[in-house]
Structure 1
Amino acid sequence: MCSDPAMVSISVRPERFSHQLIAESGEFAINLTTEALVRKADEAGVRSGRDCNKWELLGLTEEKASKIKAPLVKESPVNLECRVTERIPLGTHDLFLAEVLAVDVDKSLMDEKGKFCLEKAKLVAYSHGEYYALGALLGTYGYSVRKKG
């Protein structure tokens, strides 16, 4: 959204449990998803934290953040610690604008000069219900919990 100050935006449906947590705390973490984590990320998206402990269910590790109270996903190689600056109702979603207070990056993704090597991260993108890594379809929303036919 902006480079100085570093800012991001996320949009969340008000009925989501995460919306309530973000609205109350004014903070959130963005934990980037990798090919190795995509199935767990998908299942996290189709389950509500109101109904289960996602940390235990998915076997993920909570890590203490340096600038915010919200936990980070230790298994994620890149975490953004964010503080909300504005909430804008858009209709089905609210847009949260947030300043990035800290960026936590796994050292294995940095080269000898301290440059981030995106290609090593094997990050995943989600678009219109589908997951992509380098253009390859990895799954569709909810595939981790569908019954096999």
Structure 2
Amino acid sequence: MAKQQWKPTTILNPVPAVMVTCSDREDKPNIITVAWAGTINSKPPMVSISVRKERYSYNLIKERGQFAINLTTRRLAFAADFCGVKSGKDVDKFDALKLTPEKASKIEIPLIKESPVNIECVVKDIIELGSHDMFIAEIVAVDIDEKLLDKDGKLCMERAELICYSHGEYWTLDKSLGYFGYSVTKKSNLKRNIKDKAFKR
């Protein structure tokens, strides 16, 4: 298989397209969509988001020291794109998109009610990287729509119909290919998959 060598670029794909809520000191809320977001620690649970300094939301997050990550779904794809290209300086995104601000349990920033999973975050550090600054934050609460839980209380994330962002486009996640650890618990399937791949080369 031939490969081309490209210059260094942001090629990691797919990535989450999350809607981050923030607000100014007068509690006027805003939403910014970011793709540079990820889990960075488990104990304590921590995440990071990277935002350009020139973005309207940058100073809101820096001044309040709080934000919420709202996971995006198939139904929220249009809203996620809108919040990524429109500035909160010019438009009230909650009003324009008919989204509902919902009171958070631990932070003073509103959540997006229509998002099935909201992650409440408190900023612990800001790292200047170049084009973006990285906000490192601790997760202080998680809000889960009860519709995602089965009768035993197990989280069924597939019910959320989450989306991701890949090479300039939004994609749905349509089918599970396995679960954590399946490659070592089904050795016969693993051997068959390796054999199938060898034949396809």
TM-score of Structure 1 vs Structure 2, range by shorter chain? 0.7 to 0.9
Cα drift, residue 135 of structure 1: 6.2
Which one of the candidate residues 71, 78, 82 is aligned to 1:39? Answer: 78
Which one of the candidate residues 157, 172, 189 is aligned to 1:133? Answer: 172
Runs of 4+ in 1 over 3 A off after TM superposition: none
C-alpha distance after superposition, 1:15-55 (max 9, x if no partner)? 11111110000000000000001011101111011111111
Which one of the candidate residues 93, 96, 119 is aligned to 2:158? Answer: 119
Q: Which runs of 5+ in 1 are unaligned?
A: 137-149
Cα drift, residue 112 of structure 1: 1.9
Distance 1:53 1:102 in 2: 26
Distance 2:76 2:53 in 1: 26
Q: SS of the residue aligned with 2:90? A: coil
Residue identity over aligned pairs, in percent, reads 58
Specify the alignment match of 1:71 in structure 2: 110
C-alpha distance after superposition, 1:50-89 (max 9, x if no partner)? 1111111111000011111111000000000000011001
Q: State the AA in 2 paired with 1:78.
A: V
Q: State the AA in 2 paired with 1:11.
A: S
Q: Give the alignment's TM-score, normalised by structure 2.
A: 0.66
Q: SS of the residue aligned with 1:20? A: helix
Q: Which runs of 5+ in 2 are unaligned?
A: 1-39, 176-201
Q: Does 1:105 align with 2:144?
A: yes
| Bigger Rg over Cα | 2
Distance 2:166 2:60 in 1: 24
Q: Does 1:60 align with 2:99?
A: yes
Q: Give the alignment's TM-score, normalised by structure 1.
A: 0.88
C-alpha distance after superposition, 1:69-123 (max 9, x if no partner)? 1110000000000000110011000001100000000000011222211111100
Which one of the candidate residues 27, 32, 52 is aligned to 2:66? Answer: 27
Paired positions, count: 136
Q: State the AA in 2 paired with 1:51.
A: D
Distance 2:169 2:57 in 1: 21
Specify the alignment match of 1:50 in structure 2: 89
**Higher RCO structure, 1 or 2 (CA under 8 Å, sep 6+):** 1
